A = this chain, B = another copy of it.
């Protein structure tokens, strides 16, 4: 297992860093945004198209792949990379977020978590060891520990008890890890309580993981609270390990978090929005179904160089969306992912050139910065 994180440049005016993560399946630049390949495919696109829009690494959902087609099937077929025809890095989550989203169907114990499949109602029991094994069999390049994801809001007492369990589970994942395994990242929890976030971070850092995620955010809390949690937590994480903000988010949230020192992101927002006809542009969001675009010959975003903007009018994209055509999802997804990847490349360049603050100001003056109604919806649950 080859895993290395190198910081190439630190910004002068913020805590952001330009870096590079190396894995057995190649390297990628950070800050990085990983599109979500829920069920072994970033919805509607081929791997070649992901590369064309600039994607360097993707996320796979352990929960979904464990249930269907099954990690053992994927293992026998040569692992996830080979199965889905994606030769670049894959980060897999632990499935915790999806399992705890099942709510009533989920029972937690010291040993692990029992839940019922959303597909067929069958009962499953997963432990930290099992989740580590599943990710090994999938062959992911970056695996995540099993954590308890507490909802927002949760009481101080509940969260205090929960982070101790998450710490014990993280230790068990680490013990299960083999030298030949992928990198393993811990997940800091602690709700919106400063001392619990600090306690969680410190306990995990002592165990010396290869990277640290900040979980339990973008689950319905106000955005200012998310930024508070990042400000409290990040100083307790080691400088030389990647920091991953799970399930975030909008371009604006990503930029804010990068300025606080986050290196990795994943979110279904660009891909899911695309399928719903919500497009990201240099002047804000656009709903392609609006009647005003019925005969609009312009591309989605005039400065954009993506395949969709080079060949198709808003009028055609509106038609495809209203006609519920598969090509609508494809062309919109290409555009939104290109927008996100281009956004990340600009941020990387701005850090390199010490222009990040200018980029920040320019982005906020050009974008309408629409707030998101329910951030919890941007994690992957059922795809």
Contacts and interface: CB of A to CB of B under 8 A. Distances in A.
Interface of A: 39-41, 43-46, 68-69, 73, 76-78, 83-85, 294-295, 297, 311-313, 315-316, 318-320, 322-323, 325-327, 329-330
With a 10 A CB-CB cut-off, give which of A44, A45, A297, A323 has the most chain B CB atoms. A323
B44 A313 contact: no
Contacts of A318: 69
B83 A327 contact: no
Contacts of A46: 327, 330
Contact of A41 (B44, B313, B320, B322): B320
Nearest to A40: B319
Nearest to A310: B85
B315 A43 contact: no
B77 A327 contact: no
Contacts of A327: 41, 43-46
5 contacts: A73-B295, A73-B315, A77-B297, A83-B316, A326-B326
Contact of A294 (B41, B73, B330): B73
Main SS class of interface, A: loop
Contact of A316 (B44, B84, B316, B323): B84
Contacts of A44: 326-327, 330
Contacts of A326: 41, 43-44, 326, 329-330
B313 A43 contact: no
Given A326-B326, A327-B44, A327-B46, A319 B85 contact: no
Greatest chain B CB density within 10 A among A85, A311, A326 is at: A326
A7 to B, nearest CB: 36
A325 B83 contact: no
B45 A85 contact: no
- In the A-B complex, list the 6 residue pairs whose CB atoms are closest, starting with the nearest: A44-B326, A69-B319, A39-B323, A41-B327, A85-B311, A41-B325
A315 B68 contact: no
A315 B45 contact: no
Contacts of A69: 294, 315, 318-319, 322
Nearest to A329: B326
B325 A295 contact: no
Nearest to A318: B69
Contacts of A329: 326
Contacts of A315: 69, 73, 77, 83
